[in-house]
Chains A and B, each alone.
Chain A
Amino acid sequence: GENVEQHPSTLSVQEGDSAVIKCTYSDSASNYFPWYKQELGKGPQLIIDIRSNVGEKKDQRIAVTLNKTAKHFSLHITETQPEDSAVYFCAASKGNTPLVFGKGTRLSVIA
Chain B
Amino acid sequence: QSALTQPASVSGSPGQSITISCTGTSSDVGSYNLVSWYQQHPGKAPKLMIYEGSKRPSGVSNRFSGSKSGNTASLTISGLQAEDEADYYCCSYAGIWVFGGGTKLTVL
Decide whether A and B assemble into one complex: no
B interface residues (Cβ-Cβ under 8 A, vs A): none
